[in-house]
Chain A
Amino acid sequence: MNWEIIIGLEVHAELSTRSKLFCPCSTAFGGAPNTQVCPVCSGMPGSLPAVNRAAVEYAMRLGLALGCSVAERCKFDRKNYFYPDLPKAYQVSQLYEPICRDGALEICSPSGPKTIGIREIHMEEDAGKLNHNGVTLMDFNRCGVPLLEIVSQPDMRGGAEAVAYLEKLRDTLLYLDICDCKMQEGSIRADVNVSVRRPGEALGTRTEMKNLNSFKAIARAIDYESRRQADILQSGGAITQETRRWDDANGVSYGMRNKENAQDYRYFPEPDLLPLRIDAAWLAAVRESLPEMAHQKRERYMREHGLSAHEAAVLTSHRNVARLYEELCALSSQPVESARLLTGEVMRLCNATGTAAEDLALDAAKLARLVGFVLDGKISRAAYKEVTEAVFTRDADVDAYIAEKGLMMSLRGDEAAEAARLVLAEQPGALADYRAGKQKAFGFLMGQVMRKLGGAGNPALAERALRQALDGSD
């Protein structure tokens, strides 16, 4: 019998503000342990938090982009528990009054477009990092980095939809420029709620899986967990509501100790912070400042640049590609050729080398120079591809590469014209053959012109010059 898999996701996104949520320490990733720490984020006695306005505005941005209602009033709460990565022994979060509720995200699921509900978005502070080495070393650099927790409705039906949701959410965060979404640095993390049921039945008991560090791990964990639950139910058992840890190396999840499950966090309103009031004017100002989102870019590229729907879709599939395209357009003033280059050769290179769009780091200025060369007839299409690849694979210097490989074609029309004039003077026989209607003679004359241009000639220019010379010698 069929089991329907029900997935809800809780995604934590670290915001790319300059400073932490409650203190002015830097949020930069990768600093030496405890070098981005002050009395506030290390929980020293007597220290007090002060809210970073930008973090609130980033939350508002995401709420607006996901069509949420942004609360006119919200507040922070303390979540109390003891753990060495939490220096105050409470995490400042939002339980009772989150900043955003009730939004939606349109995803491209394997079975077509689908709307996934967003239950709420709330702000909270990140915890520190524990390094294990016989003892536990406590590093508070990440403590207090602002996070948004984005809680979906249980609207996904399997691992593929969950991954599609995550990809779309990641793109949205990137477009909004509020999170760098580097999974390997932990700047986006997901907890997955999984349950299974017979189609049409009420929701079953769910388990929550933590420690999921890649989209692939998420898909595998969902697959494993849904099968585990189905097996239990199939054999007449019952699912225990619990938190489970995913072990990606061994491809299994296991229940965490009971103690970690039976938490009583004693949430209560954070007395050290004032509530937030978001009035219509503030919300409107943030709405006004929202960057252009993917679907808006897509329409604009088609409308203003005359791109095809396919090209526009490829260019907006990732914030990074759209940004490269727009830089390239600005530098080259050639939107159509820019789009053709990125959707064609560059995408081919990405696929061939397994380069993810988020890792794409091409120098738009170099590409713009290449676009200029090819459109001006200075390099051939074949050379264009070759140099693009060199730029893609090793960030080659465009001019140096072209010079070194001798790819620059004869640049000046008058050089070609001079060559054509000389050839006609030197080859009266071939000229006569041509005049007599022998087409082969034209090919011979072209070869002679190109030879005179020393291999750096532009065939198109040479042909034009030869035809003009022939016309003129009538």
Chain B
Amino acid sequence: MSALELGSAIRRGEAGAAEAVAACIDAAERDNPRYGAFLCLLRERALARAKAVQARIDSGEALSALAGVPVAVKDNISTQGVATTCASAMLERYVPVYDATVITKLEAAGMIVIGKCNMDEFAMGGSSETGAFGPVCNPRRVTHVAGGSSGGSAAAVAARLAPLALGSDTGGSIRQPCAFCGVTGIKPTYGSVSRHGLIAYASSLDQIGPLARDIDDCAALLSVISGPCALDSTCVIDAPFDFSRQRPENLRGTRIGLPRNYLARGIDEDVRAAVAGAAREFEAAGAAVDEFDMPLMDYMVPAYYIIACAEASSNLSRYDGLKYGYKSPAAKTLSDVYRLSRSEGFGLEVKRRIMLGSFVLSSGYYDAYYNKALQIRALIKDAYNKLFERYDMLLSPVAPTAAYALGENIGDPMKMYMGDIYTVSVNLAGLPAAALPCGLSREGLPIGFQLVGDSFSEGKLIAAGRVYQSRTAHHTAACGGDAL
């Protein structure tokens, strides 16, 4: 049952919110030790809220299409009274005193948060292996990574432990785990979902988005969480999204660009073939698919990592052992509290990015690295603007490979960073992108593609995704359990 079907069954009285929540939490308690998708489950709290929501539904209150539906939330999204750790020892015991705007919106829509999802530490990583509390394992094959950084969110949906999840995407962190786990997700336009309460990695790139089994559920969840927010100055959208009318029969008149150079080198053959297959499917649905060369391809990853690490080095400076979070028991002096708490509280990847960020902003290197990256960012944005004069959307792979084995790449940061080649420019330009499953590798691991649109063109992407998923069954493949 999809999340929308569940919501509809609850509204009709054919299913109960508390039963749905209990079923998810039961499954998660049973299966989570295999996947590490959740860092915590909120049985009591979720059941109490489910009962309250059920009472409102029973009294005839119209909450939303997703009222009573359970949702899993990435653990970098602040939940009042519930530990929000960013999968870091630094925040292991941190309990926010306020809710993120998206949490307030979920609850206003009658949705029930059932648990907090594992991730890469502070969302820094592409495999959900950098967290302090163990990796997330891919429900399709538990020896493999789930992708990251929203690996727990993707795994929870893939393993049928939650019908919906929230993730965050700074350089591909929703899309890539969706592709690796065979689920659907949307990285919304920067400024369409409030970041208030999202624990920042890179402020000008971070965006919260939905993960689900299909694009319809993603659209429903995105409608709930989007909209203006007075507490986030960068949340510039005028009104929440409404995708109810984005239901075309076919894609005649839709112009899709396919970046030839993305598919030419450095890409796994299975991924290339699956993405080419998706392109053919769009053509069959009436779209005009046209190949082009994506400019600046070799400069996207460096520009992204410079900007993201610069912002991260500043954003993560507040973790100092004084106000919240880990304080080194060995620390005596102020300098010790700062240095030891930070050195012991942060994991290696986080420290690597903080050091990188400190470097690119430091006096003498700012112009050559940070400012240069901002200029490249401007060129990338301009390039996208030009492309959207010709195309309604771009179709490209999400990652160069399907999920790899746990531990396979974690020791090679450069290799990990290069895995973000197709996703990071979307964040640099603030664009929306939807990731959808489009097949399996020879090893039986999911492969995904992404549709990238112009700012605030989520409606077009969702319409195209609906047409694609109505014609294909990649997104319905049985997920839970080890495929071997």
Contacts and interface: CB of A to CB of B under 8 A. Distances in A.
A51 B363 CA distance: 28
Given A42-B323, A264-B363, A268-B361, A48 B317 contact: no
Contact of A45 (B94, B204, B363, B370): B94
A272 B234 contact: yes
A84 interface: yes
Interface in A40-65: 42-51
A84 B314 contact: no
A366 to B, nearest CB: 46
Contacts of A78: 314
Given A39-B97, A45-B318, A46-B196, A274 B233 contact: yes
A405 interface: no
B324 A273 contact: no
Contact of B362 (A39, A45, A84, A264): A264
Interface in B394-426: none
Contacts of A87: 318, 323
Contact of B310 (A47, A48, A51, A268): A268
27 contacts: A43-B318, A43-B323, A44-B97, A45-B78, A45-B91, A46-B196, A46-B198, A47-B98, A47-B197, A48-B233, A50-B230, A50-B231, A51-B233, A84-B334, A87-B318, A87-B323, A89-B320, A138-B322, A138-B323, A266-B314, A266-B358, A266-B363, A267-B361, A268-B366, A271-B203, A274-B233, A274-B234
B200 interface: yes
B195 interface: yes
B195 A48 contact: yes
Contacts of A88: 317-318
A39 B97 CA distance: 8
A332 interface: no
A90 B358 CA distance: 13
B98 A39 contact: yes
Interface in A265-279: 266-268, 271-274
A271 B311 contact: yes
A80 interface: yes
Contacts of B231: 48, 50
B24 interface: no
B196 A47 contact: yes
Contact of B314 (A90, A136, A273): A90
Contacts of A271: 202-204, 234, 311
Contact of A82 (B78, B196, B317): B317
Nearest to A78: B314
Ranked 4 nearest A-B pairs via Cβ: A89-B317, A266-B361, A271-B204, A271-B203
A271 B233 CA distance: 10
Contacts of A264: 362-363
B29 interface: no
B197 A268 contact: no
B96 A46 contact: yes
Contacts of A44: 96-98, 323-324
A354 B200 CA distance: 54
B100 interface: yes
Interface in B78-117: 78, 84, 86, 91, 94, 96-98, 100
